[in-house]
Amino acid sequence: MQQIKRLLSQMTAIIFIAALCILPISDAFAGKITGLRIGQGIGSVRIVFDADSKFDYKVFTLSEPNRLVIDAQGVDVSPTVLDNKDNNVFVENVRVGTVGVNGVRIAFDLKKPILIKKAFMLAPQSNFNWRFAIDLEASSEREFISKVGNSHAISSSDYNSADANPSDKAITAPVVQSNKRKIIVIDAGHGGVDPGAIGYNGTYEKNITLSMAKELKELLDKKGKYTVYLTRSRDVFIPLRERVKISRGYDADLFISIHADSARNRKAVGLSVYTLSETASDKEAAALAEKENKADIVAGLNFAEHSKEVSDILLNLAQRETNNSSAEFASLLSSQMSKVAKTVSNTHRFAGFAVLKAPDVPSVLLELGYLSNPTEERQLRRKSYRRKLADAAVKAIDKYFQNPKH
């Protein structure tokens, strides 16, 4: 019995010592980072970490190589969580290591120079647990270097969830799908004194494009989830630049310019979809910025608040984001059209069309076919054929807006 008591006593001591060893480890990592999301804006990025508890943090930048560093205390993170990062124009190649006794260090290599605008914790709400958000914005290399290091860090002692703006607290994800109706502007090419292409049997392009625009608007209106505007609803001439202004004036989510092609070769046939070439977009964006004095050029951004270097970066990012969205829609539109009409090879093409040059409105130009080809001219004159094309366009539009980022 005494031997059993001694054995029990020894076991109790071992368990007690083991418990003492285990407890600090448990306390050291009281929480866990469970997810990572990255939301891309125009000239900005929001990084959001999901966590099961609040934690202390410090956020700063380092150079050579340029990177964003997050030091978090009392929280653990699995490297696999960081594999879920979304594509964006600022950060990449995330790594995780340790710092101090109870901390983890998360480092993002930077594709472009940035400034840390703010960092804050969001308390649990709705279906979300704790969230830690970091807002980054574009900067020049000179500005970036001036803010590098611990002395410019933002930490939890500087900014906490109680300080967050109401607008911050309302954000439930870096990209939120809105119930607001999407705005689509449909541009019937040519008009008035400008007939556009003239078909094999004398059909005017301006009449085909207007009929098609009205039929597409009618189908979209029936969906009940889009607000649709026409740049022209009758036979009038509208300058190309004015068409761009109309789309931006309506704050359009999508701009579709409708045309019909013509060629000397009467055998040329097929539908095509154009988006803006990158060379043309860069040149046009720069000209537009100079012309409008860089005031509210893109999504309400006032370029006058920034240096020329940063303004150029912001405008370039805006145009790149717009071009990516335009290309995405063009691919969907080409795919749907190929199911109902003959298309040219390499259906999605690139050119410097003036009507596609809004830096903040995803835009495509749809060439319905060749009026110079007697067969396609005859098809495009038929309402049933145009309706078939409009149906395909609506399907592409629906698919495009199913993506939450649009």
Residue 12 counted as domain residue: no
> Same structural domain for residues 248 and 101?
no
Residue 314 counted as domain residue: yes
| Domain edge (last residue) among 134, 169, 204 | 169
Q: Which of 74, 112, 61, 64 minimizes the C-alpha distance to 91?
A: 112
Q: Tokens 């607008």: give the residue.
A: 167
Low-confidence ranges of the chain (pLDDT < 70): 1-30, 42, 84-87, 158-179, 278-319
- For residue 126, the model assigns a pLDDT of 72
Question: Which CATH number covers residue 135?
Answer: 2.60.40.3500
Query: CA–CA separation, 364 vs 348, rounded Å?
Result: 10
The predicted-structure confidence for 256-266, as pLDDT tens digits, reads as follows 999 998 888 99
Angle between helices 278-291 and 308-337 (to 10 degrees): 130
> Same structural domain for residues 131 and 197?
no
Structural domain for 44, as ranges? 29-169
Query: CA–CA separation, 368 vs 270, rounded Å?
Result: 8
Q: How many structural domains comprise the chain?
A: 2
Is 85 strand, coil or helix?
Answer: coil
Q: Which two tokens stand for residue 337?
A: 């059209």
> Same structural domain for residues 345 and 232?
yes
- For residue 45, the model assigns a pLDDT of 84
| Domain edge (last residue) among 148, 169, 190 | 169
Say whether pTM exceeds 0.85.
no
- For residue 5, the model assigns a pLDDT of 39
Residue 19 counted as domain residue: no
* C-alpha atoms less than 13 angstroms from C-alpha of 142 in its C-beta half-sphere: 4
Question: Which CATH number covers residue 389?
Answer: 3.40.630.40
